[in-house]
Amino acid sequence: MAALDKNLNVEHLAGTLTKIAVPCDGADKFYAGALAYYKYSSTASGKLTVAPAATDRFAGVVAKYVETLAADELVEIVIDGVIGLPAAIANIDALDMGDFLGFDINVGAATDNVADLIPLTGVTLAAGDICIGKAVGIQGGKMLVKLDPKTYTAAGWI
């Protein structure tokens, strides 16, 4: 699927959200609701991107739109809490509540677009698979997701 090209209406629907500001990798558009990643194994390790490489790790969900012009500009992301994502995600429905959501690298690369998420139940895990969190319900036309960022490695989830 294509990279995200507009802001998503991501709502804070339950509990307390934890937000942090992270320096970016370079000039880019960080749309609200986009999935953001930490650069990993490069000279920009620890900096934020929305165009992940296979080695990058999920960081959180972009809290508000920002267009960065250069590296090290700050981008606010949500790293913990329950958020409401658009419920119209083709690969996920009410039967997937309770499943962890993310990307199976054997099927396709991670993206910044929540429309590309899949349930991870039944996936044969491989190093590089990404989990963004757990689907915990549907409310007001939104899919509630408890953020729980992790990446699968040979040693298990980290």
Structure tokens of 6?
């507009």
pLDDT of residue 48: 94
Rounded to two decimals, what is the model's pTM? 0.88
Residues facing 118 on adjacent strands: 102
Q: What is the pLDDT of residues 82-132, one digit of tens each?
A: 988 876 677 777 778 899 999 988 888 888 888 888 899 888 988 889 999
Contacts of 100 (CB under 8 A, 6+ apart): 119, 120, 121, 131, 133, 134, 135, 148
Per-residue pLDDT tens digits for 17-37? 889 999 999 999 999 989 999
